[in-house]
Amino acid sequence: MKTFSAILILAFASLFSSGSAGMAFPGEKGKTAAEIISMIIAKTGANEIPGTVDVIKEGNPQTVVTGIVTTMFATMDVLKKAVASNCNLVIVHEPLYYNHLDNTEQFRDDPVFLEKKKYINDHNLVIWRFHDYIHLMKPDGIESGMVKKLGWEKYEVNGSLNNFLVPETTLRGLLAYLKGIFPKNAFYVIGDPEMKVSKVRLLCGAPGSMAHIHALEQSGTEVALAGEAQQWETYEYVRDAVAQGKKKAVVFLGHIASEEAGMDFCATWLKGFVSGISVSYIESGPSFWSY
pLDDT band at 27 (very low <50, low <70, confident <90, very high): confident
- Checking if the pLDDT of 24 tops 50, the result is no
pLDDT mean over 12-36: 61
- Checking if the pLDDT of 11 tops 90, the result is no
pLDDT mean over 62-70: 98
Percentage of the chain surpassing pLDDT 70? 91
Dihedral sign of CA atoms 132, 96, 251, 231 in order: negative
How confident is the model over 127-137, as pLDDT tens digits? 999 999 999 99
- Checking if the pLDDT of 12 tops 60, the result is no
Kindly report the pTM of this predicted structure: 0.89
pLDDT mean over 257-276: 97
Tell the burial category of 94 from Cβ atoms under 10 Å away from its Cβ (0-12, 13-18, 19+). Answer: buried
All domains of the chain in start order, with CATH: 11-138 (3.40.1390.30), 143-252 (3.40.1390.30)
